[in-house]
A and B are shown apart, each in its own frame.
Chain A
Amino acid sequence: MIGLDELDHHQLRELLLDTAEDRADGRFFERPRLHPAVELQHHYDRADYEGKARLKAALTEAVAEWRARAHGGSSLRFLAQAAAALRARTTAPHFERLLRLHRLLSEPADSTFAGAHLGDVAADVTATVAGFAPGDDIGALLERLFFSTGLRPELAGVLLQGLCRARRAELPRWLRRYVELVDGTDVRHFENPVFLRLFVESLTPPSLVNAWPDLDAELREFLLEDLSRLRRDESPDLYFALDSGGVTLHVQIADREEKFELRSNSVDQLFDDLSQAYDLFDLPPAVH
C-alpha cells in the first residue's frame, strides 16, 4: 500500500495520468469497490493542508500534460471525474483547451476518441467544468463552450445548468441559446424531472421572476409548459398547480416565513403579481 505522503510530485502526477476506471494501481487505489475518483477523494480528505495542495497541483499538471496517444480517453475521463471529486477548479482552463483541441463538443458522440467512447469523454469533462460554477471565470468559460460552433445538443443541458449557477441574471440569453440548440432534435432535457428540479434549484424562484419580463413569448411558453410538470414534492420552493379555473403559483422563499399562493387565469399576470409581492415583502429584487 502506498500513501499520498509517500509519493513525490512527479510520481503523483504520473500515477494520476496512468489511472482509469478499469486501470488503477492497487497499491494506491486499494479499495476496488470504490470508483477511483471517490477513493482519491478519500486520500484527499485524510491529507493535511500541504498534502491537499500537492494533490490538487499534481492533478492540474496531469490534466495540462494529458496527451491523447500517450494516455488515452479513459484516462481523461478519470482526470475529469477526479477534478470534480476534488473540486479542483484550476483544471478548468486545461479541460477547455482539450475540449476545443480535440473537437469533443462537436464530433459525433458515438465515435471513438483515444480508445474511448467520445460521448462519454466529452460528457464527463463538460459536466466537470459545469460543476465548478459559480464564479466569473467559470461563467465566461461555460459561455464560450455553450456558444461554440457545432455543440452537440445533448451537452446543452449540463452547460445550461452551469450557466444558471454562474450567471443566472442572463437566463433569457441562455434559454434562447438552449432552444436554438435543441430545436428540431430529440433532446428533451426539460421533460426530465431530475433536470427540471436542478434547473429550479440553480435559478432560485426570485431570479426566475426577475427574468420573466425579458423572456419573449416563445421562451415563456417553453418554460411554462415544462415548469408546470414540477410536483410539489419535487420542488417545494416553486411549483404550479393547473386546474380548470386557471393557474395557481406556489412560492416558498427559502429561509423566509412568507409563502405565496397566487392565482390567475394568466400566467404572465401571475408573474407580474409575484414581482409586486416580492417588492411588498422587501425580498431581494434580483439574484445574480
Chain B
Amino acid sequence: MWIREWCCTIVELPRGRVLLRNLVYDLEERRIPQTLYRSLIDHVGERFHAELSAESAVDLVDGFRNAASPERTCRGQGGPDAPESCSRVIDEASCFFYNFRPEHYGVPAEDEPPAWFFREVARRPLESAGVRGDMNTGRGYVWVTPREHLEALGEPAADRARSSLGLDHLRSGMRLLALHYPEGQPWGVQHGPPTAIEGGANAVFRSTAADDGWGRAVDLATLEDGLPELTHEPIPFTDAFELEVLGPVRHAERPSPETLADATAPMSDEWLEHAIVKLIEHAGSAVDDRSR
C-alpha cells in the first residue's frame, strides 16, 4: 500500500520523522478527528508517487493544511477546560504590517518600524483608529500561550519567550511583542491543542497532550517541553488587546533538524513498522470522533 512507501520516504528527513511521530501520536491519543485524518490521507494518497522526493513527500501534509480550508485547522481534540488569559508572541515588523495603520500614526513604512514605535504605542491603551485586521497568520490560525506562563518567564523576556515557545524562525536582532488577549478571547471561536496538521513538516513541533488540555511547545534550549500552547481561528484585532514590548532577541539558538528529530522522534525499525500499521489501520477503519 502507498502509505508504507510514503512513510519510508518521509523518514529519510528529520522533519519527516517528526511529522510521522506526531501523526501517530495524534491518532493514538485520538486528537485528530477521524474524518479529518481520512481527508488528509486522501489528499496525500492522491498526490504521492514513488518518484517523489522526500522533501516533496513531506510537504504534502503542509499542502493539505494550506489548501485554504478553515475546517482543517484548530480541530485538535481535548482543549483546556478552564479559559485562561492568552498571549501571542510576534515580531514587531510582522505585527506592524498585519495590525497597525501607518496612516494613523503617520509612519512611513520601512523594513521595520522605528525602534521606539511600539514602546511609545504601549504607553497607553491601543487606539481603535490605529489598529486593523485580524489576529491571524497567513495560514488561517494563530498560536497562543497562557499569559501568566509567559509573564513568569522573567528576563531577558524576548530570548526566553523565543526559546520556551520554540520560535526558531525569530532571528537575532528581531524585536518581539506580546499581544495580550482581552478577557474571554479566543474561547468563542474554534480552538484546540495543536496537532500534526498545524505543526506540519516542522521539526520544532511536537504534538503533546498534557493534563491541562494544552499542547506543549518544544523548548529550544532544553528540547524538553516548553510553554503550553494552542491554536485558534482568526479573530479581529481590536483596541481591547494589550501590547507589551519584550525587546530584541539576543541569543537565537537554533537546534539542527537532526537534533530536534532525535529528541522528538527517536527512530527504530520496530517503531517505523508500528507507525505504518497505525496509519494504515486508521485510514481503513473509521472511529468515532471524540466530541469537544
Contacts and interface: CB of A to CB of B under 8 A. Distances in A.
Interface of A: 1, 21-24, 26-27, 29-38, 41-42, 80-81, 84-87, 119-120, 122-124, 126-128, 130-131, 133, 154-155, 157-158, 160-162, 165, 189, 192-195, 197-199, 201, 234
A126 B110 CA distance: 12
B66 A35 contact: no
B140 A33 contact: no
Given A1-B55, A33-B167, A34-B91, A23 B138 contact: yes
Interface in B133-183: 133, 136-140, 143, 167, 169, 171
Given A127-B109, A158-B103, 15 more contacts: A22-B136, A33-B137, A33-B143, A87-B110, A123-B102, A124-B102, A126-B102, A127-B108, A154-B104, A157-B103, A157-B105, A157-B106, A158-B106, A193-B120, A194-B121
Interface in B60-79: 62-63, 65-66, 68
Given A32-B139, A33-B143, A38-B91, A160 B106 contact: yes
Nearest to B98: A35
B106 A24 contact: no
Given A1-B59, A41-B111, A157-B106, A36 B117 contact: no
B97 A24 contact: no
18 contacts: A21-B138, A26-B139, A27-B59, A33-B90, A35-B98, A35-B138, A36-B138, A81-B97, A84-B110, A87-B111, A119-B103, A126-B103, A127-B109, A131-B108, A133-B108, A194-B117, A197-B116, A197-B120
Contact of A195 (B63, B91, B105, B140): B105
A184 B277 CA distance: 73
B109 A38 contact: no
Q: Is the interface of A mostly helix, strand, loop or mixed?
A: helix
Contacts of A130: 108-109
Nearest to A162: B108
Given A80-B109, A87-B110, A165-B108, A123 B103 contact: yes
A37 B138 contact: no
Size category, B interface:
35 or more
Contacts, number: 128
Nearest to B99: A35
Interface string B93-132: 1100110011111111111001011001101000000001
A156 to B, nearest CB: 8
A23 B107 CA distance: 25
Contact of B62 (A26, A42, A192, A199): A26
A25 to B, nearest CB: 8
Contacts of A21: 97-98, 133, 136, 138
A195 B108 contact: no
A158 B109 CA distance: 9
B93 A35 contact: yes
A277 B111 CA distance: 37
Given A131-B108, A194-B107, A234-B120, A26 B55 contact: no
Contact of A161 (B107, B136, B171): B107
Contact of A24 (B55, B63, B138): B138
A22 B70 CA distance: 12
A7 to B, nearest CB: 15
Contacts of B136: 21-22
Given A29-B138, A33-B137, A33-B169, A123 B101 contact: yes
A85 B93 contact: yes
A38 B93 contact: yes
A161 B106 contact: yes
Nearest to A186: B129
Contacts of B98: 21, 35
B103 A192 contact: no
* Max chain A C-beta neighbours (<10 A), residue from B97, B104, B109, B123: B109
Nearest to B63: A26
B66 to A, nearest CB: 4
Given A34-B91, A34-B169, A127 B107 contact: yes
Nearest first, the 7 closest Cβ-Cβ pairs linking A and B are: A157-B106, A127-B102, A131-B108, A84-B109, A35-B94, A130-B108, A127-B109
B61 to A, nearest CB: 10
* Max chain A C-beta neighbours (<10 A), residue from B103, B104, B169: B103
B232 to A, nearest CB: 14
